Amino acid sequence: MGEIITKKRIKAGVIGAGSWAIAMHIPILIKREEVDLVAACTQNDDALKHLKEELKIDIVSKNEKDVLEQELDLIVVASPPSLHYKHTKLAIESGANVLCEKPFTLNPEEAWELHELAKQKNRHLLVAFGWNYREFTDEAKSLITKYGIGEVQHSMVQMATAIRSLLKTTEAFSSPDASVMPDHNTWTNPNVSGGGYAPAQLSHALGILYYLFPELKVEEVFSLMNFEDARVDLHNAISIKFNNGSTGVVSGATSPEGSNYSDLDEWSPRHQLVLRIYGSEGQIVLDYERDFFWFYKDDGTEIKKNWPGGGLYECDGPVNTLIDLSLNKKRENKSDAEVAAKTVETLWGAYKSVDLNKSVILNEKENEKENEK
C-alpha cells in the first residue's frame, strides 16, 4: 500500500443548518483553518438569513442538492431525525465523509444499511456522541482494555436531563443563538423526532456503553414509558437482555428546566448520567455528573479518580475527529455507525415493546411470527 498523504485543505458542507448546527457544529468548522465551509442548506428562514448575512457562506439554499453537488470532503448532517437516513445516504454517495447528528436513524434496518454503505464506499461515518471523545471516557476505555472486568454480566445506565419543556413544546427551546429557533415539530412530533427522551438523550448514554463494550448487542427488550401530557416519551424504564446472556437496565427521565441538581452542593447545568457495569471479574462506575470513576477487579486492582469537569458534555470531539480523518490524519472513530446502529436497535426495540405491551426479541423472523399470531 502507498503512503497516505495528509491533505492541507478540505471542503465542508452542512445539511440541516438549523439552530443546533449554527450554535455547535458550524463554529468548529469555521474555526479550523484547514476547512473551507462552502455550502449549507436549511428550511429555516431565520437560519438562511444568518448563514448568508452573518456567516458569509458562499452557497446557502433550501435544497440539499446544492450542497451535495459541491464535491465536498465532509458533510455534517443535522437535519431533523426523520431525514437522517436520506441525507446521510446521499452524503456518503456523493463521496463525502459524514457526521450525522443523533439519533442516527429511526429504525435499525436503515442504520445497518448506512453502516454497510460507508464501508463499501470507504467513507468515514461518525455519529455525534460527544461524551465518547472526552478524556474521562478515554481513561475508562483504557482501563477496560488494560485490565478487563471479565465477561459483562449486568449493565446499569441512568440519565436525567432538564429538557421537559423542550419535549412538551419546542418553543421552550433555549437556543444558544436566540435568533434561530427549531421548527415546532423537531422534538415534539414522534414522526419527525423518532420519539422523546430516549432518542434525544438516552442515545448518548447507550453510545457510551456500546463504545466501551463493543461485544454487547441487544437481543431482547421490555420497556415502560411515561408520556404524561406530551406527544413523546418523557420518562423511560428499559430492561435488556444482551447477546451474551447478560442483563441491563436503562433509566431515562426529564426534569423541569433549571432543576439540574447534581448532588454537588449547588445547582449545576449538567446532565445526570451514571453507568455501572458489572463483570465476572470486576466492575466499573462512570459518574459523569460528579466527575468520578471507579474501577475494581477481583484481584484487588482498584483505581478511583476524581476528574473536575471531566464529565461535562462537549460536542467538538466528533466534528474535529471527522475533520482530521478527512485530512487523512490518524484518529480513532469513537462513535462509528456500528455503535450508533446498536443504539438505534435498542431504542427501536424499546418503542416496539411499548406498542405491543410485551417483551420484544430483536430478530426479524421471530418478530414476524409473533406479529402474525
* CATH code: domain of residue 156: 3.30.360.10
For residue 295, the model assigns a pLDDT of: 97
370 belongs to a structural domain: no
Residue 317: CB atoms within 10 Å: 22
CA 88 to chain centre: 14
Whether residues 268 and 326 share a domain: the answer is: no
The torsion angles phi and psi of 95, rounded to 5 degrees, stand at 100, 5
Same structural domain for residues 107 and 191? no
What's residue 230's pLDDT? 92
Count of structural domains within the chain: 2
CA 54, 9, 56: angle at the middle one, nearest 5? 10
Do both 40 and 116 map to the same domain? yes
Assess if residue 4 is contained within a domain.
no
Residues 147, 280, single domain; the answer is yes
Cell output for 233: 416519551
Q: What angle do CA 60, 65, 71 make, to 5 degrees?
A: 90
Q: Do 250 and 187 belong to one domain?
A: yes
Q: What is the CATH number of the domain that holds 49?
A: 3.40.50.720
Q: Which residues of 322-353 are buried (b: 16+ CB within 10 A; e: fewer)?
A: bbbbbbeeebebbbbbbbbbbbbbbbbbbbbb
Whether 24 is in a domain gets the answer yes
pLDDT value of residue 171: 53
Average pLDDT, the chain: 90
Q: Given pLDDT bands bounded at 50, 70 and 90, which one contains residue 366?
A: very low
* 241 part of a folded domain: yes
Whether residues 302 and 194 share a domain: the answer is yes
**What range defines the domain where residue 269 resides?**
132-313+345-365
Does residue 298 share a domain with residue 167? yes
Residue 338 lies in a domain: no
Q: 32-73, pLDDT tens digit by residue?
A: 999 999 999 999 888 899 999 999 999 999 999 999 999 999
**96 with 152, same domain?**
no
If you average pLDDT over residues 273-298, what whole number do you get?
Answer: 96
Tell me, yes or no, whether 156 and 18 share the same domain: no
Task: Give per-residue pLDDT as tens, 70-117.
Answer: 999 999 999 999 999 999 999 999 999 999 999 999 999 999 999 999
Q: What pLDDT is recorded for position 1?
A: 45
77 assigned to some structural domain: yes
